[in-house]
Amino acid sequence: MPVPVREGPAALDPLLAASDIVVNLLPLTSATRRLFDSERFGAMKRGAALVNLARGAQVVETDLLAALDDGRLSHAVLDVFQAEPLPAGHAFWHHPRVTVLPHVAALTDPRSAAELVAANVRALRGGHPLAHLVDRQRGY
């Protein structure tokens, strides 16, 4: 059954409860720091998987390991971590339900990056707004 489009913090837990795979691409803000903790994992559908490609600070690693160990979550695919590079002795390296990615979820294409830089240089010289900047009011 398709899940209706939802938004905002109040809609998150019902969406998690209905999702087989949760992909985190959120910016790191005060509202998203430690977002995925034992309470959030408890709200997720039993046997769901988490893919974190955003920021390591958004996942409480000990809570994630507990959710994997007790079967609440079936798997985690992680590209970012609390400590980077991931320490050699970290449990994620050896956990059977964790896939560690090499922190390259978003590779920069030199051609498109060069075009963006050139466009921003032209905009700067022309006194126009620059594209793709961090919005300091929003925190990302």
* pLDDT at site 111: 80
Residues 6+ apart with CB under 8 A from 127: none
* pLDDT at site 134: 59
**Which entry of 55, 75, 95, 97 is annotated as an active-site residue?**
55
CA distance 70 to 36: 16
Report pTM.
0.78
* pLDDT at site 5: 57
* Residue 132: active-site member: no
* Residue 128: active-site member: no
CA distance 92 to 133: 33
CA distance 123 to 79: 34
Beta strands, E only, 53-140: 73-78, 98-100
Q: Indicate the CATH number of 9-107 among 3.20.20.70, 3.40.630.10, 3.40.50.720, 3.40.50.2300.
A: 3.40.50.720
- Domain residues of the chain, as ranges? 9-107, 108-140
The CA distances from residue 127 to 36, 124, 130, 137, 140, in Å, are: 42, 5, 9, 22, 23
**Which entry of 90, 95, 97, 103 is annotated as an active-site residue?**
103
Residue with tokens 């022309």: 126
* pLDDT at site 123: 87
Q: Average pLDDT of each block of 10 consecutive residues along the chain (140 residues)?
A: 68 93 94 97 97 96 98 96 93 95 76 85 88 64
